């Protein structure tokens, strides 16, 4: 006994290098997203741009000021919301939970809108405001859930109730301040056409920090999934980690919502989709969600730009059209992974 470490490959899915596959797909999608659109950038031009030649050309400017920010935005939003969803599912021990369903996105959206109304020109304020909105919502839902010792379904119902209050708030502001809400329908559906360097810079920093933190604490998510009492008796400070992880999830969802609007579906379907392929171990699920979330949103955004070019759909619409059937397919074929 003792020297057989190599036998401890318990996750059968480990045999397929999913992580590498996800990475390759992400790179391909990225290149497509950078080059395709109303103006097509050829591989030669792309190479020239990367080399830094030809800075005056239109193509260069399209690339630097439109394509690149937008692709980065799609990737960041996708990773952030997917990981946020995976964390919330682990913390609440609830497969039905995700940032949009338990109202965290609405909380972030409400705070973002409020901020846009009160401080119209302060872009840097949006991510922290969205985070605070997301976090207060997450905290409210989990405190109510703990107070009434809620079942899994009750947690969801609580989130739905809080979410609908906040959505009503968002709609009220939309009615009262129609001029501030440029592109508010794109905000409600989730869209990436109003990305600016500045909005991305601040939110991006929050997202990168959130993603790193979630990768650092992925082990703890596994322990939490054993249930509160077991996690406690293994020496974990359950309350502290729950709080911390919920905060990370709120940072991620809040930052994403602050520039991409209410992109709902990613947080629910990407974690489930990932689990269907790589298994349940959060050590693998979390990094995979970073990649697959980015793939999913970037691909949907690409389609949103191309489907009716030169007109654009909000990415949220494409996401629901693509994600819905995919999720149903998952439910039908790999239901074991999704049982709540």
Partner 1 sequence: MLKLLHLTGGYNGEAKVKNISAEFKKNEITVVVGPNGCGKSTLLKLIVRLLKPMSGNIILDDLDISSLARKEFAQKVSFLPQARGIPHMSAGSLVLHGRYPYLSYSRKYSRKDYEAVENAFMITGTEKFRDIPMERLSGGERQKVYIAMLIAQDTDVVLLDEPTTYLDMNHQFELMNLIKSLKQQGKTVITVLHDLSLALQYADQVIVVDRGELTACGSPNDICLSGTIDQVFHIHTQVISSSQYIFSPNKKN
Please report, as ranges, the residues that interact with partner 1 according to CB under 8 A. 1-5, 8, 10-12, 93, 219, 222-223, 225-227, 229-230, 232-237, 275, 280-281, 336-337, 339
Cβ at position 226, least distance to partner 1 in Å: 5
Cβ at position 284, least distance to partner 1 in Å: 11
Residue number, 35 or 225, with CB nearest to partner 1: 225
Q: Could you give the CA distance from residue 168 to residue 166 in angstroms, rounded to a whole number? A: 5
- Nearest CA among 167, 165, 69 for reference residue 113: 167
Q: What's phi and psi for 80, nearest 5 deg?
A: -60, -50
Q: Could you give the CA distance from residue 87 to residue 246 in angstroms, rounded to a whole number? A: 7
Q: Could you give the CA distance from residue 284 to residue 122 in angstroms, rounded to a whole number? A: 38
Residue number, 94 or 184, with CB nearest to partner 1: 94
Q: How would DSSP label each residue in 183-247?
A: THHHHHH---TT--HHHHHHHHHHHHHHHHHHHHTHHHHHHHTT-HHHHHHTT--HHHHHHHHHH
Residue number, 40 or 149, with CB nearest to partner 1: 149
What b-and-e string marks burial along 11-24, b requiring 16 or more CB atoms within 10 Å of the CB?
eeeeeeebeeebee
Residue number, 89 or 199, with CB nearest to partner 1: 89
Q: Could you give the CA distance from residue 66 to residue 61 in angstroms, rounded to a whole number? A: 8
Cβ at position 336, least distance to partner 1 in Å: 7
Cβ at position 267, least distance to partner 1 in Å: 18
Residue number, 55 or 336, with CB nearest to partner 1: 336
Estimate the crossing angle of helix 282-306 against helix 315-333, to 10 degrees: 130
Give the list of residues 6+ apart from residue 39 with CB closer than 8 angstroms, or none. 58, 59, 62
From first CA to last CA, the distance across the chain in angstroms is 38
Angstrom distances, CA of residue 211 to CA of 82, 87, 186, 247: 10, 11, 26, 12
């Amino acid at each position: 006994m003792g020297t057989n470490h190599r036998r401890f490959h318990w996750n059968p899915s480990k045999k397929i290098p999913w992580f590498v596959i996800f990475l390759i797909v992400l790179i391909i999608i990225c290149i497509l997203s950078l080059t395709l659109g109303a103006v097509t950038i050829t591989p030669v031009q792309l190479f020239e741009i990367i080399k830094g030649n030809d800075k005056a050309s239109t193509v260069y400017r399209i690339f630097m000021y439109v394509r690149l920010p937008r692709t980065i935005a799609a990737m960041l939003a996708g990773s952030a919301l997917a990981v946020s969803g995976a964390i919330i599912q682990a913390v609440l021990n609830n497969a039905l939970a995700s940032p949009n369903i338990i109202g965290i996105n609405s909380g972030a959206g409400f705070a973002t809108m409020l901020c846009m109304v009160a401080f119209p020109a302060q872009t840097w304020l949006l991510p922290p405001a969205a985070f605070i909105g997301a976090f207060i919502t997450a905290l409210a839902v989990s405190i109510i859930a703990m107070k009434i010792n809620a079942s899994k379904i009750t947690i969801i119902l609580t989130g739905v109730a809080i979410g609908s209050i906040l959505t009503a708030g968002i709609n009220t502001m939309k009615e009262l301040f129609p001029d501030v809400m440029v592109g508010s329908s794109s905000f409600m559906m989730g869209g990436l056409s109003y990305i600016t360097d500045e909005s991305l810079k601040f939110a991006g920093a929050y997202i990168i920090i959130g993603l790193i933190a979630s990768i650092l604490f992925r082990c703890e998510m596994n322990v939490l999934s054993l249930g509160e009492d077991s996690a406690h008796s293994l020496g974990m400070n359950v309350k502290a980690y729950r709080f911390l992880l919920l905060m990370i999830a709120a940072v991620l969802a809040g930052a994403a919502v602050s520039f991409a609007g209410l992109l709902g579906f990613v947080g629910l379907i990407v974690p489930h989709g990932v689990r269907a392929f790589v298994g349940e171990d959060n050590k693998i699920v979390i990094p995979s969600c970073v990649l697959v979330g980015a793939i999913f949103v970037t691909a949907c955004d690409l389609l949103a730009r191309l489907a009716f070019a030169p007109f654009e759909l909000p990415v949220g619409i494409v996401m629901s059209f693509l994600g819905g059937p995919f999720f149903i397919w998952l439910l039908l074929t790999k239901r074991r992974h999704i049982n709540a």
